[in-house]
Amino acid sequence: MTETRDLEHYLLNNYGPEDQLLMQAKLLLSKELREKAYWQKQSYLLIRHYSRNKLKAEIEAVHNKMFSEKKFESFRKKIVSIFKTNL
């Protein structure tokens, strides 16, 4: 787990310049570590992709609520008045 934590500090730029350089040196010397760093970076991208999809679904659910529930009627009227010809 220490190695994963160290890679995280490096990949997310949480290290200071000295530690960042030290990790770069370790990466140069170890193919195994380089591979781990690559897949860890892909993992962060995957987490963001997953999270963003979930967030978009949450926003869409709120959108549907705003345009269907009675308590948001005045909001709807406001939007309808903006798009009178489009809706």
Partner 1 sequence: MITEKIPIQTNEDLFVHAYETAFPKVASFVKKMGGSFEEAKDIFQDALVIYYEKRSDPEKPGQHDPSNYIKGIARHLWYKRYRENKNQTSLSNLPDLKAQEEELQVSENLLRFVELSGKKCLELLRAFYYDKLNMKTIAGKFGFSGERSATTQKFKCLEKVRDTLKERSLTKEDFYD
Tell me the CB-side half-sphere exposure of residue 85, using CA atoms within 13 A: 0
Mask for 15-54, x = binds partner 1 (CB under 8 A)? --------------------xx--xx-xxxxxxxxxxx-x
Among 1, 17, 18, 29, binds partner 1 (CB under 8 A): 1
- Which residues are within 8 A (CB) of 44 and not within 5 positions of it... i.e. 6 or more apart? 11, 12
Segment (H or E) for 16:
none
The amino acid that residue 14 corresponds to is N
Cβ nearer to partner 1, comparing 30 with 56: 56
Q: Do residues 36 and 30 touch, judged by C-beta distance below 8 A?
A: no
Q: How far is the CB of 41 from partner 1 (least distance, A)?
A: 9
Positions touching partner 1 (CB under 8 A) are 1, 4-5, 8, 35-36, 39-40, 42-52, 54-56, 58-63, 65-66, 75, 78-79, 82-83, 86-87
